[in-house]
Copies of this chain bind each other. A is one copy, B any other.
Amino acid sequence: MTDVLSPAQFVSEVAFNADGLVPVIAQRVQTGEILMFAWMTKETLEHTLQTGEVTYFSRSRSRVWRKGEESGHTQRLVEAWIDCDGDVLLMKVDQIGPACHTGAPTCFFRRAGIKPDV
C-alpha cells in the first residue's frame, strides 16, 4: 500500500504553491502526536531530506529557518510522506524538547469542549 520514492522523485512530486511553498505537518514519530505545522521551499525540503535536519521557511521572517537553530529544540527527520495530490507533506520526526515556541510540547494545546455525544 505504501509507495517508496527516491528523494529526487519525492521532491519532483511536490506541488509547491504560487509562493513556492508547501505546507508541512510535523508528527512525533514515537507517539503520533501532532507537533506543529509550517512551510518548506524546494530548497529547505531538499536540505531536510539530505541531512535529516528538519528545516522550514519562515513566512513571517521571510527566511530559511532550521527548526531549533535558536532554541536548540531541533527535529530530526525519520520519515517523509507526501499526500495524494502532492500539496501537503507529513514529516515524522524525533523532536528534541518542546516543539512550540510557547514552551508547550506541541503547538496544539487548546481544544474545544464538545459534548462526547456529538
Interface residue ranges, A against B (CB under 8 Å): 1-7, 10, 13, 23, 25, 27, 31-34, 36-37, 49-52, 77, 79-85, 88, 90, 100-102, 104-105, 107-114, 118
Contacts and interface: CB of A to CB of B under 8 A. Distances in A.
A51 B118 contact: yes
Contacts of A34: 25, 27, 34, 81, 90
A109 B3 contact: yes
Report how many copies the assembly holds. Answer: 2
12 contacts: A2-B110, A3-B110, A7-B112, A7-B113, A23-B23, A25-B37, A27-B32, A27-B34, A31-B32, A37-B88, A80-B111, A81-B112
Contacts of A105: 1
